[in-house]
Amino acid sequence: MKALVVYYSRTGNTRLVAGEIAAALGADIEELRDGKSRRGPIGFVMAGREAMKKEPVDLKPLQHNPADYDVVVVGSPIWASTISTPTRTFLRQHRDALKSVAWFCTSGSVKAETDGKAFAAMTEESGLSPVATLGLCGRHVKGEHKAAVNGFVSALARGGTS
């Protein structure tokens, strides 16, 4: 299985998990970039506002073509109970190129339903149902999350759900 891990990260949590997933899968990795600064409290508020409005952003060109992969694993932080605007834009732009997908999200929240809303948004934007999903809240990313990542990777290898 040829895999690509595509992600956006504002604080580094999603980047950390994306790297672990890519290493476990032996996958290529692609960070989404749009050139906007979303640092600090003002950046946090602006990111949430963008997410609620579902506004597209101008992404920098990708290094990898998603159409060249059997599965594309897409990761996003959760902003205002939904996916980040760079992730939403990627899924809209590459909807027709994606063959099989898996979703993962990181969140500062401890509410499980937040992951479900984000996964539903990813499914809606891509038009595809994921073969596996992984939702991690901030305390899990900062602490013990390796078992969850391993379960997610195993589910991907099986082609089933996690």
pLDDT digit string, tens, across residues 78-118: 888 889 999 999 999 999 999 999 999 998 765 555 678 89
The H or E element spanning position 151 is helix 146-158
Token pair belonging to 94? 């590459």
| 9 contacts: CB under 8 Å, gap ≥ 6 | 15, 16, 18, 31, 75, 77, 106
Does 29 or 140 have the greater pLDDT score?
Answer: 29
Domain locations along the chain: 3-158
**CATH T-level topology, domain 3-158:** Rossmann fold (3.40.50)
Q: Confirm if 123 and 129 have CB atoms less than 8 A apart.
A: yes
pLDDT digit string, tens, across residues 53-75: 888 899 999 999 999 999 999 99
pLDDT at 151 over 80: yes
Q: What is the pLDDT of residue 24?
A: 95
Q: What is the pLDDT of residue 22?
A: 97
